[in-house]
Structure 1
Amino acid sequence: MGLCNAHYARQRLGRPMEPPVRNARATDAERFWSKVDKTGECWLWRGATMSRYGIFRLNSRNHVAHRVAFMWEHGPIPHGAEVDHMCFNRSCVRPSHLRLLDHQKNGQNRSSANSNSKTGVRGVYWNEARKGYMAAASVRDRIYRMGPFPTVNEAEAAIVAWRRDNMPASIHDQRKAG
């Protein structure tokens, strides 16, 4: 097809083929938004990434792109606050999909189980000694356990109900309520 290495890499990664804005007179906002695909519900960062988070150079320093988008829309981010993706999409920079949380609450807002989960359900595991499925969650270094339950579904229902009452930042569990 006759593409240079840079354009081949953009095509392979599904990124826009037009080059980023490199005009020396472009504003920071013009440079930033030229790297964003706004065609879907989530506004996806198409620039440089690190650990699947967008990276944007601003004031001679690298910044995480979703934090820049949040800051431009809502103002300064307080020290110690984290910007949470309510959509669970790390590459999303749409300000309406972002919110401020402390570290504890940000950790509560998860959409799925850990990658090494044998049940595939967040907070549910098999306990051989009890011959049943256990449900567990932790808040502020305290672990809350329930069970045993005869099925994964019963254990999941119990832990989701518990998280709904005790982890209000867990959007995924709140949605399961409705």
Structure 2
Amino acid sequence: MTVLCKYPGCDMPKGKALGWCNAHYTRNAKGRDMAPPVRKHNATDEERFWSKVDKAGTCWIWTAALQNTGGYGVFRINSRNMVAHRVSYMWAHGPIPKGYEVDHTCFNRSCVKPDHLRLLTHQENGQNRAGANINSRSGVRGVYWSQNQWIARACIGPVTHEVGRFDNLADAEKAMIAWRHQHMPVSLRDRRKAA
């Protein structure tokens, strides 16, 4: 019978000293945080991946390394860094066709729950944005202030569509949501607002 590490919840075999596994013994000796899971060197890629995911909430949150830009999870397979939500999608649904991106329907970049992921083209993924540009004066996606009125405008690919000009921001926002609801069917946030 294998004797396990004395650290609560650790299922690694006891090492040579003080009843700890080798990883917890080293962490204890160096005064490091004991709580992170211990990496199993013989674990499969799937075991390593899912050990880095918190499934407690609606979204399954990636708890390990993140990209420097974007905030997406990073997972290493075969000496190659991959984006965690793409790995989750591939394992659940198969290969990602060339020209497609994996989109979060929950708008949470650290989520890796396969049910919250879908395939879209780059153009469709751009339509499913969460909100206005960071430099927007209106704070409303697709609504701009010019010549003493609010202008509602949307782009699909290289084509710009003028939706209308409005005296107040609320009317411009309502018009943009209705327009995207009709012309950008993958824009989930707008579809939820229009419903």
Normalising to structure 2: TM-score of the pair?
Answer: 0.80
CA RMSD of superposed structures (Å): 1.6
**3-state SS of the aligned residue for 1:159?**
helix
The one-letter code matched in structure 2 to 1:102 is T
Matched, 1:80 2:96: no
Give the secondary-structure state (helix, strand or coil) at the position aligned to 2:74. Answer: strand
User: What are structure 2's unaligned runs of at least 5 residues?
Assistant: 1-27
Using CA pairs below 8 Å that are at least 6 residues apart, which structure has the higher relative contact order? 1
1:121 shift after superposition: 0.5
Shift, 1:147, TM fit = 2.4
* Larger Cα-atom Rg: 2
Which structure 1 residue ranges, 4+ long, deviate > 4 Å from structure 2?
none
Compute the displacement of 1:172 (Å): 0.5
Q: Secondary structure at the match of 1:49?
A: coil
Say whether 1:92 aligns with 2:111: yes
1-side partners of 2:35 and 2:48: how far apart? 13
Say whether residues 1:122 and 2:144 are aligned partners: no
Contact kept in structure 2, 1:21 and 1:30, CA below 8 Å: no
In the alignment of these two chains, the number of paired residues is: 165
Counterpart of 2:112, as a letter, is V
Instruction: Please show how residues 33-52 of structure 1 align to structure 2 within 5 Å.
Output: 33-50=50-67, 51=69, 52=71
Q: Letter of the 1:120 partner, please give it.
A: G
Letter of the 1:93 counterpart: V
Distance change >3 Å, CA 60–CA 175, structure 1 → 2: same
State the shift of 1:6 in Å.
Answer: 6.1
- Are the aligned partners of 1:20 and 1:31 in contact in 2 as well (CA < 8 Å)? no
Q: Could you say what secondary structure the match of 1:137 adopts?
A: strand
Percent identity, aligned pairs only?
58
Cα distance in structure 1, aligned partners of 2:102 and 2:162: 29
Question: Which of 134, 140, 159 is residue 157 of structure 2 equivalent to?
Answer: 140
Q: Which structure 1 residue ranges, 5 or more long, are not aligned?
A: 8-16
